[in-house]
Structure 1
Amino acid sequence: MNFVFLDVAIGLGTIFFLVAMFCAGVQEVIAGYLNLRGKTLWEGIQSILIAGDMKLGNTPAKAVVSSEDPGNKIAQDMLMHPLIRGQVPDKFGIRDLFQWLFSSRQPTANSGDTKPSYLKSATFAITLLDTVRKTYKNTNGNPTDLSQAIANMPDSELKTTLQSFITKAGGDMDKAQKAIEAWFDEAMDRVSGWYKRRTQALLFLIGLTVAVIFNVDSIQIFKQLWREPTVREMMVKQADNITSTAILQDNSLQDMDLVAQSQKMLNALPPSLPMGWPAAAWSEKNAAPKTDWQWLCDALLLVVGWLITASAATMGAPFWFDLISKLLPLRSGGKPASGEAKPKQ
């Protein structure tokens, strides 16, 4: 009985691993196409520059932030700075392909709707200080040092913050820049937390969509694994193949084509697994007629099975890979090898 539970756990863990890997691949495609990393990064930058009653993590609202707010003005000017624009990915569509072929294409990297997905703290600090110096230069046209430029800024939280950095640095601009870099790094740690939470929500939606389209019902899969020893044995072999695959042991899970690789592994699953349409609960041959209440219960269980699959996808492929890697040695009575590699998060 203990081996039955273990085999069922390994089988379900393998299904969840493959679904999570497929969903992660889809998520990466969406994140890259919509530049979600860049949007989140710049939202974080705006939130530390803009004054008012904004809270870190909230998108600036027109009703709250004035266009003349120093932080808002600096944020917009920073987007036009060469150091920032040089890191914006160049757009490339079908029209651009033909323009490129005939040597008539111009670079389209701009700050209109595309943001850099990564920014070094030193680049942020240099860009911020240079933008402040240029934006709040003296009206008489004379050269402006940084301290004077900050003094020329309207009263704001950003002005107070920058002045405190310079004061603590004793006027040493290098020390002030290092303080701004540390300020940026601290804020980006929190931005990373936002991105992770948001992508988990996105991953749940992708997982639910995949579960519905392909009818990956965790409850029906559990029942089939519990009833059919042959299916359990095949799933254990599949799990063993996955954990022993060199591409996974080389910690290159994030570097491969997740969608293609997961599809290949999903196609190798036992055909008797109750996945796909029509739903297994509704396609049993020679089944006795069901009442409306029974149909409703089947529908509710189906939805619950989808939700379980979607929730499992949010745990991530590395979690399920690590789990089945630990369960397999228990089944064989052995111990995990020391220093066993696992996929990166």
Structure 2
Amino acid sequence: MIALLSLYVDMAIGLVMLFLLLSLLVSGVNEAAVRLLSVRSKFLWAYLRDTMDGAQEGARSWLPATVRGVFTVLPFLRDPRPKFDERPSPAEAKPMPAGTTAADDAMTKLFYERVREIDHGKTGKTSISNIPPGRFAGALMEMAAGEKDGVEGLLVKLKDLNSPLYGHLKGVWESAQRDMERFRQGVESWFDTEMQRLSMLYKRYVKWVVAVLGLVITLLFSMDGIEFTKTLLRDNAYRAAVSAIAGSAEGTESLKETCTPGVDPYKCVTDTLSSPAMVKVFDHAIISLRIPEDGDPSVSWNGGMWWQRVTTLSHWPGYLLTFVALLFGAPFWWDLFRRITGIRGRQ
């Protein structure tokens, strides 16, 4: 009974480790793409352009409204970020030029002028991907100070510009009863709520990206979760046979039957145990890595065998199992791994 329980525990740990490693790979690829394409920064400034200047008549919103926009428009086709400026913000905020329209992005440019101290250059565009609520409120207060009538003057300019920000600030200004300190606190609270809403929207889109990456990685590595489970069980049975070598001659005979004819059983044991199930499962990737006993590691194209596995319907239930498992994410599998193994986190 104890041996059977140990067998299932080993199988569970092996499966969790596989899904954890693949989930980390998916997360790593996603994070690398996000950083390389500056998706977080573009997402933030798309929101700021929509909120401050609004969309032009007949034009689409800067924020992506579909999953396709997340994959193509925002990363590659439309960059909402202002140009990077290494100069510090001027001592006094400039008033908005007369006759400006939403097409001029006047509010976004003035706002960037007030927050560019926290910026650093990246491919000619701003890299700001997070603006603290206090910094946002301070920038708006500075912009209002540059107007003749203060906050009232800024609201008039926003109304003339038909900016969506006008309605939000108008409500905060009235609620603060035209008290500057309460207005600043109200703007902070409003912007913090907006950033939480934006984060939820971003995570919703990221789930689709992670799902696509999970499917791609599952197929590129042709990860059949069911086949991997069977391999784990065979490995456990093989270890039991290995332990029988020292105990009886029958154990040696059983190993001879499983090894290639004419091969020394002890060498067969060494070769097999040096390639456990966790290593064997990666041999079916479209590009495989070989680490021979002698010589340097080699990378080889494995397209023929990979395509045969991918087009074999009997493997697809295993692919589906792996794909669904990856949707749970690395934190889920790490937590499950800690529960099974008893590893404690930092207190």
Q: TM-score, normalized by length of structure 2?
A: 0.60
Contact kept, 8 Å, 1:121 with 1:182, in 2: the verdict is yes
| Paired residue secondary structure (1:127) | helix
1:148 pairs, out of 149, 153, 165, with 153
Matched, 1:312 2:325: yes
Q: CA deviation at 1:273?
A: 3.0
Name 1:40's counterpart in structure 2: 43
Name 2:108's counterpart in structure 1: 75
Contact kept, 8 Å, 2:144 with 2:154, in 1: the verdict is yes
Return 31-40 or 70-79, whichever deviates more. 70-79
Q: Which residue identity lines up with residue 107 of structure 2 in the other structure?
A: I
Q: CA deviation at 1:132?
A: 5.4
Return 295-304 or 201-210, whichever deviates more. 295-304
Number of aligned residue pairs: give it: 253
Contact kept, 8 Å, 1:42 with 1:115, in 2: the verdict is no
Name 1:130's counterpart in structure 2: 142
Matched, 1:18 2:30: no
Contact kept, 8 Å, 2:222 with 2:310, in 1: the verdict is no
Structure 2 residue ranges without an equivalent (≥5): 74-99, 241-273, 287-307
Q: CA deviation at 1:174?
A: 1.6
1:190 pairs, out of 197, 200, 212, with 197
Q: CA deviation at 1:50?
A: 5.4
Distance 1:227 1:159, change over 3 A: same
Contact kept, 8 Å, 1:47 with 1:58, in 2: the verdict is no
Distance 1:47 1:32, change over 3 A: same
Q: Give, in whole Å, the separation in 1 of the partners of 2:216 and 2:285.
A: 16
Q: Which residue identity lines up with residue 78 of structure 1 in the other structure?
A: F
Q: CA deviation at 1:181?
A: 0.8
Q: What are the Cα deviations for residues 230-288 of structure 1, in whole angstroms up to 9, with x where unaligned?
A: 5899xxxxxxxxxxxxxxxxxxxxxxxxxxxxxxxxx9864663333379xxxxxxxxx
Q: Give, in whole Å, the separation in 2 of the partners of 1:268 and 1:77.
A: 61
| Paired residue secondary structure (1:274) | helix
Please show how residues 1-345 of structure 1 align to structure 2 within 5 Å. 1-49=4-52, 58=64, 68-69=101-102, 73-79=106-112, 81-83=113-115, 85-91=116-122, 108=124, 110=125, 114-131=126-143, 134=146, 137=147, 143-154=148-159, 156=162, 157-229=164-236, 270=277, 273-277=280-284, 299-328=312-341, 336=342, 340-341=344-345
Contact kept, 8 Å, 1:211 with 1:306, in 2: the verdict is yes
| Paired residue secondary structure (1:276) | helix
- Over aligned residue pairs, what C-alpha RMSD do you find? 3.9
Q: Give, in whole Å, the separation in 2 of the partners of 1:304 and 1:127.
A: 55
Q: Give, in whole Å, the separation in 2 of the partners of 1:204 and 1:325.
A: 24
Q: Give, in whole Å, the separation in 1 of the partners of 2:121 and 2:133.
A: 22
Return 38-47 or 178-187, whichever deviates more. 38-47
Structure 1 residue ranges without an equivalent (≥5): 62-66, 93-107, 138-142, 234-266, 280-294, 329-335
Return 46-55 or 123-132, whichever deviates more. 46-55
Q: Give, in whole Å, the separation in 1 of the partners of 2:159 and 2:334.
A: 55
Q: Give, in whole Å, the separation in 2 of the partners of 1:232 and 1:123.
A: 62
Name 2:304's counterpart in structure 1: none
Return 206-215 or 181-190, whichever deviates more. 206-215
Distance 1:29 1:179, change over 3 A: same
Q: Give, in whole Å, the separation in 2 of the partners of 1:307 and 1:50.
A: 45
